[in-house]
């Protein structure tokens, strides 16, 4: 599958020399990577390496950023965040971002539909049956796993074909992690492109086609899934485990 | 018959309650999205009523048209305001929003006062709603019944819109996490603009409803907004339904008070607020949103050694002032400046070093004036004891007001101090010893300490100057004491100060008492300068003036209050002939300070010279 995208598919996201700042502090120092359509790419790296910031910078949520973020051939570096979302990127933030003043249904229906061809609510309840049972509960009353399901589910409805997931397995029980892994696999089969940030190497290697290792706000190495077994030692040294 | 009167007071209560509910609802909606307490809400309410009047007078559009058009027009004006002014404050402390909208209210009210004077313009009741029905137990004027029912419908519609619709879900979500909602592709900045427009449109709607009942006046919203602040403090701003229910309930309580004990009708809401704060400091809904404690004064004071520079400059200024009687400058004018500089300095101690914005310092300034004037004139006490009485009374007052307000922070603290101060205003308005509107006039100028003849202007000048120096040095000493250091740490990070083991509430309380006492001292001195004690000095506009002087001079600076007082009092003197344009100018200065130079005159100067003043 990895050989296939190199030649056949188009680039979904192209990040070039991306810099970003939190106030005065310079966090991203020229991130360079791309994601092909239908591919699952993981950003790996230590705490504070700039993985989450990269996602936020792609989404236009950083106060100050420079460089280039091309999405589907459109340069987004100067677009406001709401226009970027409309291009068809579904964002699932760190700590899931479920709204406590909204119930599950409202949370699910909140992100506006940006493209045709999104999952219907039936498809979603088929994928995440738990949500149907808790439709009128307050969003933050759900368990961590259910909240993660909800956070993923609500962006699948919008028709976005490009999904950005920030640590979807953080703080979840192993059985839930497996479930999320299966969900990502199903999404890939449906043709979604996925960019995710992970600290959980085992989980990442089971779902991703490619890995970008991030250190000090730069991509220092890129590995394919085929490389992983051969480079375990190298990966461990990157991640400090 | 008596029952009849009871029901009609109840109806008036419900009508006032309608206005409270619509206004506090708008405030709550705006606060949710913008984190701003919209002080200009009363001004937009007034403009709503004026819009109805203009539509009638110039375009022949009657009540029913105005009921729709006026809110739309005011809403659009509100949206422009948000875009041009409020947006600049998005990432700043809530208090700056309060200050800017206060300035905006001054500008708007001032402009309408210039154009229409202070008296009211009539607005007729629409023909379909004239007359009334006899319900047996009371006569119900149709229009009044309409106001209550229509307001209720408008409130419920707003509640439905926010709590039950898709749009409302966007709004609630954006209140919680604006950037995520934006990432979903929703134009949150536009939503913020529309929300502000919607909030002030509700105020304008209340204005149109009120036009036929209360005549159309430039200041119709100015006093109302303070009552609405009290309502908001009582109900808390966490819930939409809460603010509606509280609004109506408070109106009814006020109506009942008018029937059973009319003397207290103008103060009952404030008393209610005080009682509720004593029992439940977070307000009824208990979800009071506290402003995150952050440094209002822009730059923390610099290194210790540099403080000396400020003291040296202060010394030079004092020497200049001491030599002043040798020149031909009118001392009366300078004495007034000194009094205002001292009260602003006292206020500055609280905000510049404790991060607490009191919007009620007029209560100390004015109360001390009344007590001193009364003590000297009626009791025949010598000046020094009169001053002592005024200062002691203010210390007591500060102890009481502080006990009520100090547990709340940020905008709530500002609103509570404003409400307490307004309550005292109504007390002084009615209390016999203050002579109501006339004030206490021609204060005798006896010999101070038996030797200083205050009738001699030069002697009086030196007494006031000495008082100013004494007060300012007391402030300087406080700021540079260990107590002042703790206060600073509380301003910068209260949770951290608590974790270090400080009882921060106690520190803030002591600072509040100190500040109130010093403000009282300034008020007592002023009595001998201006020869009267009047309602002006306890009015909310005086509190605003004290805030303005400090803001303009430079928050957290030693010399700022003097510089600010000089500019503001001179502009009042020189522009007196322009009447209400002075208010407009002051409002504009407020806005300019908040938008462009938050360090104030002295702060900016200090920055340029790289020293601490």
pLDDT attached to residue A2: 45
Task: Sort out which chain B residues have CB atoms less than 8 A from A80's CB and list them.
Answer: 182, 187, 189
With a pLDDT cut of 70, the percent of chain B lying above it is 96
Q: Does B165 touch chain A (CB under 8 A)?
A: no
Answer yes or no: do A101 and B175 touch at CB < 8 A: yes
Sequence-separated contacts (24+) of B584-588 with Cβ below 8 Å: B584/B106, B584/B107, B584/B110, B584/B111, B584/B114, B586/B103, B586/B106, B586/B110, B586/B544, B586/B545, B586/B548, B587/B102, B587/B103, B587/B104, B587/B105, B587/B106, B587/B107, B587/B108, B587/B110, B588/B103, B588/B107
Scanning A166-205 for CB atoms below 8 A from B yields none
Question: Does residue A27 contact residue A21 with C-beta atoms inside 8 Å?
Answer: yes
Question: Does residue B527 contact residue B339 with C-beta atoms inside 8 Å?
Answer: no
In a domain, A191, yes or no: no
pTM (predicted TM-score): 0.90
Inter-CA distances, B468 with B121, B473, B566, Å: 45, 8, 14
Segment B393-424, tens digit of pLDDT:
999 999 999 999 998 878 889 989 999 999 99
pLDDT attached to residue A68: 95
Answer yes or no: do A61 and B172 touch at CB < 8 A: no
pLDDT attached to residue B300: 43
Answer yes or no: do B182 and A61 touch at CB < 8 A: yes
Answer yes or no: do A59 and B184 touch at CB < 8 A: no
Least reliable range by pLDDT among A132-146, B85-99, B537-551: B85-99
Answer yes or no: do A82 and B172 touch at CB < 8 A: no
Closest partner CB to A99 (pick from B166, B172, B182)? B172
Residue A11 sits at φ, ψ, to 5 deg, of -80, 130
Which CATH number goes with the domain that contains A208? 3.40.50.300
d(CA B216, CA B70): 14
Closest partner CB to B185 (pick from A85, A99, A100)? A85
- Region B170-177 average pLDDT: 92
In a domain, A101, yes or no: no
- The helix-helix angle for B2-34 and B188-210 (nearest 10°) equals 160
- Region A108-135 average pLDDT: 90
Name the more confident of B409 and B233: B233
In a domain, A207, yes or no: yes
- Compute how many other C-beta atoms are within 10 angstroms of the C-beta atom of residue B162: 23
In a domain, A105, yes or no: no
Question: Does residue B71 contact residue B44 with C-beta atoms inside 8 Å?
Answer: no
In a domain, A63, yes or no: yes
Range of the domain at A39: 1-81+201-241
Answer yes or no: do A85 and B186 touch at CB < 8 A: yes
Closest partner CB to A101 (pick from B176, B184, B186)? B176
In a domain, A71, yes or no: yes
Question: Which residue does chain B place closest to A139, by CA atoms?
Answer: B173
CA distance A231 to chain B (A): 36
CA distance A1 to chain B (A): 31
Write the DSSP string, B186-208: --HHHHHHHHHHHHHHHHHHHHH
Task: Sort out which chain B residues have CB atoms less than 8 A from A59's CB and list them.
Answer: 183
Question: Which residue does chain B place closest to A160, by CA atoms?
Answer: B184
Q: How confident is the model at residue A214 (pLDDT cuts 50, 70, 90)?
A: very high
Q: Does B167 touch chain A (CB under 8 A)?
A: no
d(CA B415, CA B139): 38
Closest partner CB to A111 (pick from B179, B185, B189)? B185
d(CA B420, CA B407): 15
Q: End-to-end distance of chain A based on CA atoms, in angstroms?
A: 29
- Residue closest to B373 by CA, chosen among B357, B356, B385, B362: B385
Question: Which residue does chain B place closest to A158, by CA atoms?
Answer: B184
In a domain, A18, yes or no: yes
pLDDT at B570 over 50: yes
Q: End-to-end distance of chain B based on CA atoms, in angstroms?
A: 68
Question: Which residue does chain A place closest to B182, by CA atoms?
Answer: A82
d(CA A199, CA A47): 8
Q: Is B232 exposed, middle or buried (0-12, 13-18, 19+ CB in 10 A)?
A: buried
Give A219's DSSP letter: E
Q: Does A102 touch chain B (CB under 8 A)?
A: yes
Task: Sort out which chain B residues have CB atoms less than 8 A from A84's CB and list them.
Answer: 183, 185
Answer yes or no: do B170 and A82 touch at CB < 8 A: no
Residue A11, H or E segment: strand A11-22
Answer yes or no: do B184 and A61 touch at CB < 8 A: no
In a domain, A206, yes or no: yes
pLDDT attached to residue B449: 87
Closest partner CB to A101 (pick from B172, B187, B188)? B172
- Could you give the number of structural domains in chain A? 1
pLDDT at B297 over 60: no
Mean pLDDT of chain A: 90
Task: Sort out which chain A residues have CB atoms less than 8 A from B169's CB and list them.
Answer: 102, 106, 109-110
Q: How confident is the model at residue A241 (pLDDT cuts 50, 70, 90)?
A: low
pLDDT at A3 over 50: no
Place of tokens 């500055």: B348
Segment B303-319, tens digit of pLDDT:
445 567 888 888 999 99
CA distance B176 to chain A (A): 7
Q: Is the dihedral of CA A207, A210, A216, A218 positive or negative?
A: negative
Question: Which residue does chain A place closest to B185, by CA atoms?
Answer: A82
Answer yes or no: do B183 and A81 touch at CB < 8 A: yes
Q: Is the dihedral of CA B448, B454, B460, B464 positive or negative?
A: positive
Segment B20-32, tens digit of pLDDT:
999 999 999 998 8
- Residue closest to B171 by CA, chosen among A114, A101, A98, A151: A101
Least reliable range by pLDDT among B74-83, B192-201, B583-592: B583-592
């Amino acid at each position: 599958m990895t050989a296939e995208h190199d030649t056949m598919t188009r680039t979904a996201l192209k990040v070039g020399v991306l810099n970003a700042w939190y106030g005065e502090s310079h966090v991203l120092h020229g991130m360079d990577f791309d994601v092909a359509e239908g591919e699952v790419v993981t950003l790996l790296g230590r705490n504070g390496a700039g993985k989450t910031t990269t996602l936020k910078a792609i989404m236009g949520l950083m106060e100050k950023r420079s460089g280039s973020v091309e999405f589907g051939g459109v340069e987004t570096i100067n677009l406001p965040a709401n226009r970027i979302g409309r291009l068809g990127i579904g964002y699932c933030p760190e700590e899931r971002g479920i709204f406590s003043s909204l119930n599950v249904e409202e949370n699910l229906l909140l992100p506006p539909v940006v493209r045709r061809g999104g999952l219907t609510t039936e498809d979603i309840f088929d994928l995440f049956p738990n949500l149907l049972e808790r439709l009128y509960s307050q969003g933050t009353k759900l368990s961590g796993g259910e909240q993660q399901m909800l956070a993923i589910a609500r962006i699948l409805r919008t028709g976005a074909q490009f999904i950005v997931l920030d640590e979807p397995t953080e703080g979840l029980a192993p059985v839930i992690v497996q479930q999320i892994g299966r969900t990502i696999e199903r999404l890939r089969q449906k043709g979604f492109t996925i960019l995710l940030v992970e600290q959980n190497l085992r989980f990442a290697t089971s779902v991703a086609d490619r890995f970008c290792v991030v250190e000090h706000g730069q991509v220092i190495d890129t590995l394919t899934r085929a490389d992983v077994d051969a480079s375990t030692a190298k990966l461990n040294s990157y991640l400090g485990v | 018959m008596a029952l009849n009167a009871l029901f009609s007071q109840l109806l008036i209560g419900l009508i006032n309650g309608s206005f409270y509910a619509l206004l506090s609802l708008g405030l709550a909606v705006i606060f949710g999205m913008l984190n701003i307490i919209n002080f200009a809400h009363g001004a937009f309410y007034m403009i709503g009523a004026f819009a109805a009047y203009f539509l009638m007078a110039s375009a022949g559009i009657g009540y029913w048209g105005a009921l729709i058009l006026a809110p739309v027009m005011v809403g659009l004006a509100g949206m422009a305001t948000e875009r041009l002014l409020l947006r600049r404050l998005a990432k700043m402390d809530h208090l700056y929003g309060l200050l800017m909208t206060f300035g905006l209210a001054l500008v708007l009210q001032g402009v309408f006062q210039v154009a229409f004077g202070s008296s009211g313009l009539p607005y007729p009741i629409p023909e379909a709603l004239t007359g009334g029905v006899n319900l047996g137990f009371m006569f119900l004027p149709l229009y009044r019944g309409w106001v209550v029912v229509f307001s209720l419908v408008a409130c419920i519609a707003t509640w439905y819109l926010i709590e039950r619709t898709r749009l409302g879900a966007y709004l609630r979500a954006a209140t919680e996490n604006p950037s995520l909602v934006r990432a979903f592709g929703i134009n949150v900045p536009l939503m913020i603009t529309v929300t502000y427009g919607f909030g002030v449109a509700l105020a304008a709607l209340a204005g149109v409803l009120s036009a036929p009942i209360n005549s159309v006046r430039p200041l119709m919203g100015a006093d109302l907004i303070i009552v609405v602040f009290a309502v908001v403090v009582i109900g808390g701003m966490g819930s939409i339904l809460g603010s509606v229910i509280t609004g109506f309930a408070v109106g009814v309580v006020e109506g009942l008070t008018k029937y059973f004990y009319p003397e207290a009708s103008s103060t009952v809401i404030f008393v209610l607020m005080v009682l509720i704060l004593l029992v439940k400091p977070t307000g009824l809904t208990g979800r009071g949103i506290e402003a995150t404690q952050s440094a209002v004064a822009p730059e923390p004071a610099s290194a210790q050694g540099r403080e000396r520079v400020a003291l040296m400059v202060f010394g030079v200024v004092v020497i200049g002032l001491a030599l002043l009687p040798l020149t031909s400058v009118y001392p009366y004018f300078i004495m007034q400046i000194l009094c205002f500089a001292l009260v602003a300095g006292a206020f500055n101690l609280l905000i510049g070093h404790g991060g607490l914005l009191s919007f009620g310092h007029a209560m100390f300034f004015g109360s001390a004036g009344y007590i001193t004037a009364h003590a000297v004139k009626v009791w025949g006490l010598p000046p020094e004891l009169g001053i002592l009485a005024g200062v002691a009374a203010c210390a007591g007052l500060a102890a009481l007001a502080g006990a009520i307000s100090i547990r709340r922070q940020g905008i709530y603290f500002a609103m509570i101090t404003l409400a307490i101060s307004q309550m005292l205003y109504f007390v002084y308005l009615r209390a016999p010893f203050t002579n109501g509107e006339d004030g206490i006039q021609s204060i005798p100028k006896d010999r101070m300490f038996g030797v200083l003849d205050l009738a001699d202007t030069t002697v009086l000048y030196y007494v006031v100057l000495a008082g100013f120096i004494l007060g300012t040095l007391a402030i300087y000493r406080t700021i540079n004491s260990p107590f002042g250091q703790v206060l600073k740490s509380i301003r910068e990070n209260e949770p951290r100060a608590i974790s270090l083991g400080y009882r921060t509430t106690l520190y803030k309380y002591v600072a509040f008492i100190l500040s109130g006492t010093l403000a009282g001292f300034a008020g007592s001195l002023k009595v001998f300068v201006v020869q009267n004690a009047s309602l002006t000095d306890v009015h909310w506009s005086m509190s605003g003036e004290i805030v303005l002087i400090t803001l303009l001079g430079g928050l957290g600076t030693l010399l700022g209050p003097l510089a600010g007082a000089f500019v503001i009092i001179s502009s009042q003197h020189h522009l007196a002939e322009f009447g209400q344009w002075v208010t407009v100018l002051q409002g504009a200065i407020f806005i300019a300070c908040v938008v462009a130079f938050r360090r104030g005159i002295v702060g900016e100067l200090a920055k340029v010279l790289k020293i601490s003043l």
